[in-house]
Structure 1
Amino acid sequence: MVRPIAGEGTTECEWLAWDAVWSWPALPLDLPGSPLVVAPHPDDEILGVAGLLSLLGSADLAAVTDGEASHPGSTVHSRGELAAIRRTETADALRVLGLGGSRVHRLGHPDGGIDEDTLAEELAGLLGPDRWCLVTWRGDGHPDHEATGRAAARACAETGARLLEYPIWAWHWSYPNDPDVPWHRARRIDLPPAARAAKSAAIAAFPSQIAPLGPAPEDAAILPPHVLARFARPFEVIFE
């Protein structure tokens, strides 16, 4: 379901004041090998699970799109230039996390036009029994995030891989105890200082998203400070 992403949404102070976030059980890091992390757009995987990836020390990335539609009316960069910039930013972020040698599968779907059936087939080819598949939550409120999550769920059901979903925009539009969010499936990954620092540095590797491209409104930052605050917390959340 597409959700309006407007205003400041639920603040990070409101989330941290909710007692439930401190009582969710920890996610055991008992994975059998390197996980596959699936990102609809460059930076989704970093916002959602960069701390976890830093702790694990290995992962493969399925980059579904190159994020070329992040600034559709940009007065500074063409779509092709934005795609190239964001590919470079992804590589920089992975290096910061110590994952510079990770295999990156660039699937080449158009930003805003993911072919869900094709993606499910592609992901099934990258997964196997019990392999972790980290992907955006199927109810996240952004059409690309939800299509990617549904495709990954199909691929996991077909291959026996383990589906683990990370919310991104749900932290904006939802609220504590929102009945539309599967809080009963929430698991925490507590991040020690080194993992938090690595995540912060990886987010900083995306200047095209966290800073304006130029002075025009069309070139405004996609991830202003009130959004980034939700990803600077000392833990990450997975829906298991």
Structure 2
Amino acid sequence: MIRRTVERPHPIGGLGTSEAAWRAWPALREFPALHLTGTQSAVVIAPYPDDAVFGFGGGMAILADAGARLRLVAISEGEARVGPGRAVPPAEETRNRHAATLQALEVLGASDVETVRLEQRAGPGAYGVDELAARLTEACADFQVCIAPWEGDRHPEHETAGAAARLAAERTGAALLSYPVWLWNWAVPEDPRVPWRAAHRIVLPEEARGAKAAAVAFLLHRLHPPVRHVRREVVLTSTMTAHFARESELVFV
């Protein structure tokens, strides 16, 4: 089988676009609303477990509160982010991250979520689209909705996960919702590189919004320092995490 990987120059770096700039853009509050009512089962796919909380934590809280069957597929626990000189051995770091994920899900009110750990090696090009799609097709079988990173997020692992999830959704007949994470860093309002016509808002009730805020804060504290390295030039800054405190989450359909 031919291994295909997503290869693009990595544009993420620096402080990025501020949350104030995004909030000043009226269209961000005018995208069509997407209601999760009636969703009985959903698979949430994440390159790293915390990505699911950052990009779709409010949606997970809503679905869990409604009693939907939920599965979280973590492609990697982030082993590649454990470098030389760290006081914690890689195996222990992996256990710590997994434990933090379970606790964050509990904060979201989603402690009954089934977690699947693919334990793929982290890092750009570590896995191919076809290889990953085969694993995700199995994970998405018999689920109504597949929720995955946006294929255009410009983060290598996110793009690969998004492309593989699209294939898995096509093979299983699941509806695909794509959540961005790094878009808020590299893009700007009205950015022509973003398919805004496909964007929808998931409006978060106060309880879901509060649960997500608490889960994000917990992960940032538990996984301190909050590192997100790609080619050793990208970190998850406070400017970036401010994007995850909104009244709604955006998905592409």
- TM norm structure 2: 0.86
Q: How far 1:92 moved relative to its partner?
A: 0.5
**1:146 aligned residue:** 159
Query: Are 1:86 and 1:208, in contact at CA under 8 Å, matched by a contact in 2?
Result: no
1:69 aligns with one of 45, 57, 80 = 80
Structure 2 residue matching 1:14: 3-state secondary structure: helix
**1:233 aligned residue:** 246
**Alignment pair present for 1:223 and 2:236:** yes
Query: Are 1:127 and 1:161, in contact at CA under 8 Å, matched by a contact in 2?
Result: yes
**1:54 aligned residue:** 61
**Alignment pair present for 1:203 and 2:203:** no
2:182 aligns with one of 169, 173, 176 = 169
Q: How far 1:191 moved relative to its partner?
A: 1.2
Q: How far 1:178 moved relative to its partner?
A: 1.1
Distance 1:130 1:103, change over 3 A: closer
Q: How far 1:26 moved relative to its partner?
A: 0.3
Q: How far 1:25 moved relative to its partner?
A: 0.3
**2:49 aligned residue:** 42
CA offsets per residue over residues 162-217 of structure 1, 9 Å max, x none?
Answer: 1100000111001111111111100001112211110011112324676328xxxx
Query: Are 1:63 and 1:106, in contact at CA under 8 Å, matched by a contact in 2?
Result: yes
Pick which of 80-89 and 159-168 moved more. Answer: 80-89
Query: Are 2:97 and 2:223, in contact at CA under 8 Å, matched by a contact in 1?
Result: no
In structure 1, C-alpha distance between the alignment counterparts of 2:85 and 2:196, rounded to whole Å? 37
Q: How far 1:139 moved relative to its partner?
A: 0.7
**Alignment pair present for 1:79 and 2:86:** no
RMSD of Structure 2 on Structure 1 (CA): 2.3
In structure 2, C-alpha distance between the alignment counterparts of 1:230 and 1:210, rounded to whole Å? 18
In structure 2, C-alpha distance between the alignment counterparts of 1:184 and 1:9, rounded to whole Å? 23
Q: How far 1:121 moved relative to its partner?
A: 1.0
**2:25 aligned residue:** 18
**Alignment pair present for 1:135 and 2:142:** no
In structure 2, C-alpha distance between the alignment counterparts of 1:92 and 1:238, rounded to whole Å? 25
Structure 2 residue matching 1:205: 3-state secondary structure: helix
CA offsets per residue over residues 26-84 of structure 1, 9 Å max, x none?
Answer: 01214441210001012000000111111111421011111122353553333323222
Distance 1:230 1:88, change over 3 A: same
- TM norm structure 1: 0.90
Distance 1:207 1:78, change over 3 A: farther
Structure 1 residue matching 2:22: 3-state secondary structure: helix
Percent identical among aligned pairs is 39
Query: Are 1:196 and 1:234, in contact at CA under 8 Å, matched by a contact in 2?
Result: yes
Query: Are 1:209 and 1:222, in contact at CA under 8 Å, matched by a contact in 2?
Result: no
Query: Are 2:75 and 2:119, in contact at CA under 8 Å, matched by a contact in 1?
Result: yes
**2:101 aligned residue:** 90
**1:216 aligned residue:** none
